[in-house]
Amino acid sequence: MSTHLTDVLSQAYDAVPYASHPFPQSAPENLEAIAHLFGLAACPPAQARVLELGCASGGNLIPLAARYPQLQAVGIDLSTVQVQQGQQDITRAGLGNVTLKNMNLEEVDASLGQFDYIICHGVYSWVPPAVQTAILRIASENLAPDGVVYISYNTYPGWKAREIVRDAMLLRGADRATPAEKLSYARGMVEFLHDMARDGSVLKKTLEETMPTIQNSQDYYLIHEFLEACNAPCYLKDFVAAAGAQGLAYLGDAEPSTMFVSNYGDKVATPLLQECGSSQVMLEQYLDFIVNRQFRQTVLVKQARASSVRYQLDHARIRHMAYAALFQCEEPITLDGGPVQCKAWRNVDVTLNTPVSKALALTLNAHYPGTVTQEALLDAVCQAVGQPPATVEPELLDMLNHLIITGGVRYRRTAVLAPAAVSPQPQLSAQYRQALVPGQPAPTTLCNAWHEDVALGIVQQSILPLLDGHHGTETLVAHLLQEAQAGRIRFLRQGATVTDAADMERSAREQLPAALEGLRQQALLAS
């Protein structure tokens, strides 16, 4: 990369830092599960070495390091400001197993060592060709033999139309003095075109699709997504070819349900399987055109492992995973009733037709947000329906297979532990207690056991320091009452602030159970 462009990109991210937070699809636990699903072994995350390219201030790495004390994490970013912020966060958290480096990616070489997982989220499309090549070179050169790579990027064909919007925004905003000015003028351009574009035109349709993003996204995202010096989307097939030139092979997508052509209906599946069923990449490339895909999260492995990849799921691999799901049904689930319509994870439609499928749903619901191994699921379902494993297991595995393909269930090789109910003396998991700094305001978000950023309500923020396993309901209610009387939190009733002491206590008792249950359901409490 030229020195000039390097400086431009560095200054852009120093001036407007990109929000740094966890990306669930990039989590090593997810990548480990995907590798297993498609026939490959991967290093258990708890002992892994993880490298993130473009780590910002470490929001994706720091929670991972806190979750696994034996894991070693290294992050690299061009922005001095963001790396310094991340180093402060690491020191504050007392973590010794994560390091952030301020480096140009073109300077990284094999001397950095080998890593079991290499992550590069939201960088590849936003850097010049030389840096894209460097990313793929590092992903190959610094990858352990059984390692897994995650790289996300803007993709065609979806970004073909979006480029019209970006070009229009740059036309009016690029030459303004400050990032805020650039965005203000760029937004004005989009609003003008949205009002003036002819009904039924390609431009009008594109603007209607893009306006929610322009109107609702935070400024930092829009500045870097639409006004950055570099934004070079590509087709999946071209990305895979570029990765192949560096000795890497396509494994899959970080959201595997998008890969299965059966999810798109017989009218799509039948001709595509006939046309390109022997090539997973071409199959997905055709699907990208059908859904007008704009963004990809691609998982890669060493080329030497390509021949071991199996896209046809089999029961042997399904058996050796743990599962989590929450089935929300139109009516209570009873084993002796008729079909029950449910929404599974990610709002996937599921029909529970048989006692086995219903018992599976009830078991997963009872353990959510924690995972249940297939073996434990089998035992629970057999007990519920009163049938032996030999009878139950084939149907159970078929049901899990269906849920995996449709995206209606979460799965891991590494267990996610979570309590089935709030304990009388609830305890925040150790890694989250580490994030609490005495004398400092409680965090507004926490990264949970699923590597998701969870926004906390004011009541939840207030009680976090007391969730150490030694305080019960009465102590927590008394604390909330004290905080309300001091004006540090407010309880509302019919839109008005509660001021009466008795009403404050009543509000605290009403809101505390929901706050604790919310923490439990978000996998933030210790099991």
Kindly tell me if the per-residue pLDDT of 75 is higher than 70: yes
Pairing of strands 295-302, 328-329: unpaired
Residues counted in the chain: 527
Query: H-helix or E-strand containing 194?
Result: helix 179-196
Kindly tell me if the per-residue pLDDT of 33 is higher than 90: yes
Q: What is the mean pLDDT of residues 310-323?
A: 96
pLDDT band at 205 (very low <50, low <70, confident <90, very high): confident
C-alpha–C-alpha distance, residues 339 and 357, integer Å: 10
pLDDT tens sequence across 243-269:
999 999 999 999 999 999 999 999 999
C-alpha–C-alpha distance, residues 412 and 315, integer Å: 15
pLDDT for 143: 98
pLDDT for 285: 97
Q: Which amino acid is at 435?
A: A
Give 235's contacts (C-beta < 8 A, 6+ positions apart): 155, 156, 157, 285, 288
Do the Cβ atoms of 122 and 54 come closer than 8 Å?
Answer: yes
Q: Is the pTM of this model over 0.85?
A: yes
**What is the 8-class DSSP label of residue 491?**
-
* Helices and strands per DSSP (H, E), number in the chain: 20, 17
C-alpha–C-alpha distance, residues 154 and 174, integer Å: 21
pLDDT for 378: 98
Q: Residue 324: is it exposed, middle or buried by C-beta count within 10 angstroms (0-12/13-18/19+)?
A: buried
**What is the 8-class DSSP label of residue 322?**
E
pLDDT for 438: 73
pLDDT band at 18 (very low <50, low <70, confident <90, very high): low
- CA-based diameter of the chain, in Å? 72
SS3 content of the chain, % helix, strand, coil (to 5): 50, 15, 35
pLDDT tens sequence across 221-243:
777 777 777 789 999 999 999 99
Do the Cβ atoms of 353 and 510 come closer than 8 Å?
Answer: no
Q: What is the mean pLDDT of residues 175-188?
A: 83
Task: Compute the chain's Rg from CA coordinates.
Answer: 25
Average model confidence (pLDDT) for the chain? 92
**C-alpha to C-alpha distances, 302 to 98, 145, 505, nearest whole angstrom:** 25, 7, 60
pLDDT for 5: 57
Look-up of token digits 């997504």: 225
pLDDT band at 3 (very low <50, low <70, confident <90, very high): low
Q: Which residues pair with 150 in a beta bridge?
A: 119, 299
Q: Tell me the domains of the chain and their CATH numbers.
A: 3-155+233-262+293-308 (3.40.50.150), 158-226 (no CATH), 315-412 (no CATH), 430-521 (no CATH)
